[in-house]
Chain A
Amino acid sequence: MATEKTDVVIVGMGAVGGILAAELGKAGMKVIGLERGPRLSTADFSGQDELRYFQRQDLRPNAKRQPVTWRASANAAAKPLPILNYGNQAGGGTVHYGAVSWRFHEDDFRVRSQTIQRYGSSAIPKDSSLIDWPLTYADLEPFYDRAEYELGVSGKAGNLEGRKIEGGNIFEAPRRREYPLPPLLADQSGLIFEEGAHKLGHHPFSTPRAILSQSYHGRPSCTYCGFCQAFGCHVGAKSSILVTKLPEADTTGNFKLLTGTMCFRVNSDNSGRVTGVSYYGPDGSTNTIEAELVILATFIYDNTRLLLVSKTRKFPNGLANSSGQLGKHLMAHITPRVFATFEDRFVNIYMGPNAQKHSLDDFNADNFDHSGLKFIRGGQVSVSPADLEGGPIGAAMSMNPPPGIPRWGAAYRDFLAKYFARYAAVIAQTENLPYADQTIDLDPTVRDQWGLPAPRLTYDWRRPNELARIEFLTGKLEQLAAAMGATRYWRSPMGAGAPGAHHEGGTRMGDNPKTSVVNRYGQSWDIPNLFIIGSSTFPTMSGFNPTLTIQALAYMSADAIVNRYKKNPGRLV
C-alpha cells in the first residue's frame, strides 16, 4: 500500500480531467491524475476495424466487467445495460466521440424562466424538476471561445456578435469571433440534406466538430476516412483530449498520470474537508493519495457513485449530499430516426466524419413557437449513418428494414446489397426535461470487477411531454426525407425507455445549497475542497451534444481555481 501527497488529485482523465490537469499544472500546482483505462496513442488507431471499435466497443467500458444497471421504474428489477456509451481510457469519451462541438443556446441556460415567460408556468410538466442554470451564456462565452481555439473546432459562425450569417447556424448564441477552422467538407448526404432543408425553408449548415478541416497546432487535417464516431483517429485530426490537453499537461512538469487505477473512495475527515482518495492499482494493490484539492471528473455514473460510496458518519448520505439531490435528475438524449433510400443516386454515407454530418437547428431549444404543441423544448436535427457510424455491421445492426422486408433471408440480403450505399438516416436528438425520480444510485446486488456496487439507473423517457416532442420531430424528419428526394422513407422503432447517449445530471449545479449539489464552478456546497465537474452538474441538457459545454465549464473552473481558490481556498460563491 502506497501513500503519496500532492496538491491536486483528479479522478478521470477525459474531457474535464485533461483540461484541469493542463491548466492547474501550468499554474504550478502538483497534479496527479487517476485513469482506470490505458493511455493509448494515435499509433494505436492504425487499424480501422468496425467489429473491434463499433460492435465490440473496444474504447468503451466493458459492460460485463464494469456493469451499469437500468430499470424503467422503482418497481422494476434492474438489469445491466448491454452497451456503455462513454470513455474508458485517458482522453475519455473524446477519443472515440463524433467530436460534435456545440455551444448551448442562450435560453438553454434559463429554460425554466424562458418557458414561463413565453408560455406561462402551466407549460412546465408538473412532475419536472426544471430549473435555470446558475450562470448565463455570456458568463461561459469566453470559455467556449477558449475551448474552440485551444482544442481546434471546425465550423461556420451563424451569429457574430448578434449579426446573423446564412450558412452558419443562425440560431446559435452570439459569438465573439469566427471558428478557428472552416467547416468540414460536406458529403453527398450533407448536400442532399442541405437541398431538402432549403426547400422546406429551414436553415441547414455543416455541423461544428472538433475535427481539423485544415492542419492546426501541428496536427494534420481530417482524411474523411469515415472511422470517427466509435473510433480513435488514425491521423490525430480529431481534437481529442488525448492529442491536445494531455501532451500540454505533460510539458508542465507538474503532472503525473496513473493509468489502470480505479478510485474507490474519496476520503474525508471530521472537519468536513476531503483529504484525498483511495484507489486500486493495476496490480490490485490498495493505495492512497493525500491531496489539498480533490476533483471528480469521471462520467456521471461514477461521479455519483464515488460520492455515495464515500459516506462517513459525518456525511451519512454520501459526500456533498446535504441537499439530498445527489443522484437525481438524470437526463439523456433520445434519438428518433427516419431512414431514407434513394433510387437515383449513391449516397456512400460511410465516407467522412460520421456523427451528425449536416444539421439544422430550427426545431431545437425554444427556436420555434411551441404554442398549442403539448410539449416544451425541442431537438437538434441532422443527417447521419444508421448508428452514427458508417460501416455495414452498423447498418445491419441499427437500421430496421422498411415495412414488408424481414430482418433476414434473401429479401433482407437484397435490401442491404442494394441500399447500403444508397441510404441516409435523418435523426433528431431531443432535449428531455429533468425529473427528480430519474436517478442514479447503488445497485444492491450487481458488483463490478473491483467489487464496487454497480451504478443503477432508474429512468424512463416515455413521459407525455417527451412523447409529444418525439412525435412532432419525427414528423419533421419524414418531411425532410421526402424533400431530400428519398423514394422510400420509414421510421425506426423507439426503444423501451432506456437512456440513450450523453447522460447528464446526478450532481446538479445551482445557486442554492439546499437544492443543488455544487455551485457554478462545480464546487461542492458542503465541502469546499471538493469539485465535481462534467455533465453530471448540468441542471438541464439542451438538444445539443454536451462535450464542448463540459469543456467550457472545465476551463471556467480551472480559471476560478487558479485565480481565486489557490490564493484563498474556500467557497467561491
Chain B
Amino acid sequence: MTEHDPGRRTFLVRAIVGTGAIAGAELVPAQTTESPKEANASAQSHSGEDRHGAFFNRDDAATVAAFTERLMPGAPGKPGAHDTGVLHYIDLALAGAYADLQDFYRHGLAQLDALCRKRYNEPFVRLNAARQDEVIRALEQGEATEFTWPTAQEFFNTIRTHTMEGMFADPIYGGNKDFAGWRLVGFPGAQPIFTRTDLESKQAFSRAPVTGL
C-alpha cells in the first residue's frame, strides 16, 4: 500500500516537478526558483506523486515527468501519469527491478535533450505541449537520427511501456496512486472471486471497492 505523508507531499509539490501535472501547460523546471541545496534536498524526498530520488537526478526526473504526462495526460476526472505517480514508479523500478536499464535511460534522456536543443534551442521540459507531442511523435516513428543507442523507437516504446506499468500496476510498486489508474479504466484490482452474476453482468462492476496486494 502507498504511504501517505501530507506534510512532505506538500513540500515536494511546491519544490519540484509537479508542474508537469497540468496538461498542455508550459513546463518550467523548478530549479529556476530554487537554490542547489534545496534542489538536492527535494530530490531525495520520498513523498507525493512526483517523488523520486532512488535513481533519477533532478533534470531527468523533470523530463520523465513531462514526457510521461504527454503519453497519459491528466484532465479533470481523468487521472494521468502525474496523478498516478508514474515518475515514482519508474524511479523505483530503475533503482531495482530494471537496474539494467539505467544506462538505457541515461543515454535516451541525453539524446532527447540534444534533439530538443538542436531543433528548438530548449530542453524538452521547456517546450509547449504541442512541441512536446511533435518530439514524441518523431521518436515513435523513428524520425530522429539524433538517436543511436537506444534508438528513438526503443526509447519511446520503453517509456510508453513503463508509463502503462506505472499507471496500472499495483500501488505497491509506487504508481497507480490510490488506484487512480484502475479507477480510470474500471478495473477492480485483485478480486479473489467473481460470482455467476458478476460474470454474466452487462453493467460496470461496482460491487466492492478496488483492492490491491
Contacts and interface: CB of A to CB of B under 8 A. Distances in A.
Interface of A: 47-51, 55-56, 64, 185-188, 191, 223-227, 234, 344-346, 348, 350-352, 391-393, 395-397, 407-410, 412-414, 416-417, 420-421
Contacts of A420: 185-187
Contacts of B200: 186-188, 191
A176 B145 CA distance: 64
B202 A351 contact: no
A226 B193 CA distance: 8
13 contacts: A187-B199, A224-B195, A350-B188, A351-B194, A351-B199, A391-B168, A392-B168, A392-B181, A408-B71, A409-B133, A410-B75, A412-B72, A421-B186
A64 to B, nearest CB: 7
Interface string B164-205: 110111101100000001101111101111111011111111
B201 A413 contact: no
A414 B194 contact: no
Contacts of B191: 225-226
Contact of A421 (B75, B97, B194, B205): B205
B213 A47 contact: yes
A413 B72 CA distance: 6
A346 B170 contact: no
A413 B71 CA distance: 8
Nearest to B195: A224
Nearest to B170: A49
Nearest to B163: A408
B59 to A, nearest CB: 23
B160 interface: yes
Contact of A188 (B140, B169, B190, B199): B199
Given A393-B169, A413-B78, 11 more contacts: A188-B202, A352-B194, A392-B168, A392-B182, A408-B160, A409-B71, A409-B133, A413-B75, A414-B78, A417-B184, A420-B187
Contacts of B187: 350, 391-392, 420-421
B121 interface: no
Contacts of A350: 187-188
Nearest to A192: B202
Given A225-B192, A234-B192, A346 B201 contact: yes
Taking residues whose C-beta sits less than 8 angstroms from the other chain, chain B's interface range is 35 or more
B2 interface: no
B72 to A, nearest CB: 5
Nearest to B23: A410
Contacts of B140: 407-408
A414 B23 CA distance: 14
B5 interface: no
Closest 9 CB pairs of A and B: A420-B185, A51-B169, A396-B164, A345-B202, A392-B168, A187-B199, A223-B193, A48-B190, A408-B71
Nearest to A350: B187
Nearest to A227: B190
Contacts of B97: 56
Contact of B173 (A51, A409, A421): A51
